[in-house]
Chain A
Amino acid sequence: MSNSGLLQIKGIRDGLMVTLADAAWPVVRTALLNRIEEQPGFFQGARLALDVGNQVLHVAELSELRDKLSENGITLWAVISNSPTTETTSQNLGLATRLHKPRPQEMQTARGIDDEAAMWVSKTLRSGTRIEFAGHIVIFGDVNPGAEVIAGGSVIVWGRLRGVVHAGAQGNADAVVCALDLSPTQLRIAGEIAVAPRREGKPQPEIARMKNGRLHAEAWTPG
């Protein structure tokens, strides 16, 4: 444990967790970098999660800090934030925005998330991006191999789904996954996992859901 008023550092399962105080970004940023300079041995090779509180951060700021950290041998892997802008920035940079995936027991108990809330994403998710949201996620674009989509609710992709998708991530077995081309690297609903079979021929819209405790994909046909 360490505390200089501007930042708090503690060890967590995944490395180090640094919580920044609610001061101006340049101030807390400099405080962090100074601390690293004072104790280079302590930070060398560390995986760092950063809790930035209410800071509203854009790509320029976060990527600059990430580069500075990597120059000091520190890997920034997660940014925890209360600001939706900062969350989006982190996701764009391929950083995690949660510290851990829900554990199995949490999955069984946590239910009934807000059914109405959905996150709208209107771009293609490229390799290395990860999007997480407690409600539904709607993607107007492709999900490329190497991208991950994790939703508490359902996932709808108006495009090709070829990355990893987890719907009902908190245990909601009623969640569904639909895509115009459903060819995920891995598909999960609640606790069930499936790998899409290699399909030949023209893709068609499909819906994946749980039926009698097993994952099923069925084609959507008009009429």
Chain B
Amino acid sequence: MTGKVVTITSGKGGVGKTTTVANIAVALAADGKKVVCIDGDIGLRNLDVIMGLENRIVYDIVDVVEGRCRTRQAMIRDKRMPELFLIPAAQTRDKNAVSPSDMIRLCDELRQEMDWILIDSPAGIERGFRNSIAAADKVLIVTNPEMSAVRDADRVIGLLEAEEKAAPSLIVNRLNPTMVKRGDMLGVDDVYDLLRIEVIGIVPEDENVIVASNRGAPLAIEAKSRAGQAFRNIARRLNGEQVPFLDLEAHSLWDRIARLAGRK
């Protein structure tokens, strides 16, 4: 088996990288794939919290790299899905304990057993970014439809180009169709117009994302959630399927009200 390494990163913090990793991982695992997530956000560890695995951490990535445990021992098995694992980040130790070549070695080992290795990267300006992209076969950039986030995403795309990585793909997260329609938020077209990289996902703003994260149960398993559907679609596209984008506009409340009122 030769698993694929996908790194999820961004220019700005707080745009939804960790949420994206957790949800894509759950979606891939629900589809019967063997998945391991690596929390590469040293010091800002929180993938374990979103996946609800925090209380099971014994070993972390630094223990693996420094040979204090076998890789298997640091892989925490998910509560719901037997083929979903997490390798947690070290929260307190030396930030330089892991190097890019350590990451490549670890990922090469994981490739033997897993279908997907998802890395939750820190934002592109932070330490640990180069570790997170070192082994990547594919990089996904998460941005919000907001000028400052898009600019920072542009900068990271430039960094990836400078590192001579293959062109990354884009996830536009927290899109609010009603605000786009009003002209109060950048649309996906506007974001694409600037960044010019393939769009692999459009995820609507959805308060259930926050609720689910707090419960430690990523939304992607909930069949009815639109944000969950958007994350599942990203997982399918990673698998090479052609999946049309959700028609977010058509379902916006505003649109329906406008239609009911006979104004459209």
Contact = CB atoms under 8 A, between A and B. Distances in A.
A123 B127 contact: no
Interface size for chain B: under 10, 10 to 19, 20 to 34, or 35 or more residues? 10 to 19
A126 B95 CA distance: 29
Contacts of A93: 159, 162
B155 A146 contact: yes
A59 B161 CA distance: 10
Given A67-B130, A145-B194, A94 B158 contact: yes
A126 B150 CA distance: 11
Interface in A94-130: 94, 123-129
Interface residues of A, number: 20
Interface in A29-88: 59, 63, 67, 70-71
A90 to B, nearest CB: 10
B242 interface: no
Contacts of B164: 59
B154 A92 contact: no
A144 interface: yes
B196 A94 contact: no
A145 B96 CA distance: 33
B163 interface: yes
A125 B157 CA distance: 10
B154 A70 contact: no
Contacts, number: 46
Interface string B190-204: 000010100000000
A77 B157 CA distance: 20
A89 B161 CA distance: 11
A195 B157 CA distance: 26
Contact of B127 (A71, A124, A125): A71
B127 A126 contact: no
Nearest to B157: A126
Given A59-B164, A127-B152, A67 B158 contact: no
Interface string B8-28: 000000000000000000000
A63 B194 contact: no
Nearest to B131: A67
B154 A127 contact: yes
Contacts of B158: 92, 94, 125-129
Nearest to A145: B151
Contacts of B127: 67, 70-71
A120 to B, nearest CB: 17
A71 B151 CA distance: 25
A59 B130 CA distance: 12
B186 to A, nearest CB: 13
B194 to A, nearest CB: 6
Given A59-B162, A63-B130, A126 B96 contact: no
Contacts of B159: 93
A92 B163 CA distance: 9
Rank and list the top 6 A-B pairs by shortest CB-CB distance, nearest first. A126-B158, A92-B162, A127-B154, A128-B155, A127-B155, A126-B154
13 contacts: A63-B130, A67-B130, A70-B127, A71-B127, A89-B162, A126-B158, A126-B161, A127-B158, A128-B154, A128-B155, A129-B158, A144-B154, A146-B151
